[in-house]
Structure 1
Amino acid sequence: MAAAQAGDQRAYTRVLNDSVALIRAVARRQGVAVDALDDVVQETLFTVHRVRHTYDPLRSYDAWLSAIAARRAIDLLRSHGRREQREVHDEFALDTHADREDASAGTERAQDALLLRKAIETLPPGQREAVEQLGLKERSLAEAAQSTGRNTGALKVNLHRALKTLRDRLHGES
């Protein structure tokens, strides 16, 4: 990797190719399913490309790469976990689901959603962006940081402040 940092394209290609096996092993240790390993490999290699300047040649490349791969694996698992929570896996769900929802409950939910949306719109831009990216679009911190150009720390702070503000506003109106 040190040679790759110095501009040796062959060394860079070789280090990326040689990294795939370690990335796959780290992802498997994190609990990533076999069919999702290629996603972790791709995201990790993309991250390595973006942050290759941060590698310190005096330290272990494998340890540096393993840390990045573990983070990308965790991002993928979180993303899949959020999706799993929203999906229905009951084969009889359509048979037992009521055709019509109780009108008053539906109206109340719609009013709550509208109230929340209006409260989000009143947040300062950074806080609103953090809520939209991390809460509404359910992106990982890495995805939101890449999308917004903000660092993950700023996104965390903005989200924390936004949630506190929303809690205060919505509970204050109750």
Structure 2
Amino acid sequence: MTDSDAGTPPGMRDGVGWSTLMTAAQAGDGVAYRRLLTEITPYLRALARRSLRRPADAEDAVQDVLLTLHSIRRTYDPARPFQPWLVAIARRRIVDRVRIQIRTTGRETAIEPFEETFAAPETNEWGMESDSIALRRAIADLPPGQRQAVELLKLKDMSLKEASAASGASVPALKVAMHRALKALKGVLGPK
């Protein structure tokens, strides 16, 4: 082990330090590079697990560190210790992962399997039926051009071209009618 690797955690065999392995890897030694990656991975996992709760996030952080290391390995200076260089990279990637975790935690909800949405299936059917009746009434109250656009494009699932041929209206006119119809339906059926 070299002086530059003093304090490097266990995981090195044959007295070869990580600095030596990295220097050999920079010179094109694939075996040394593979060995380096194999030896630093448990160390990186330990670093990541200190900051990240979920094992999947820790593993993602380790992969980010290894990818970063691979892409910038030419910037390592063999005259300097390897471990501080590696830890600096790891800390940046782990902080990035923590930021992602913080951003997504507020927006994501764990999905739990639900057998039913309400106590009784009849409740669901009644709610859907009343919504269906309200939707039919709202569509019937639309002006004729908008009602026709909804019927052809949404209820009959026609393309704009097919609806244009069936109604005699131009494609742009159908788009405008559909937009206005959806806006009107949203105003009638939206949250009260």
TM-score by length of 2: 0.44
* Greater fraction helix: 1
Larger CA Rg, structure 1 vs 2: 2
TM-score by length of 1: 0.48
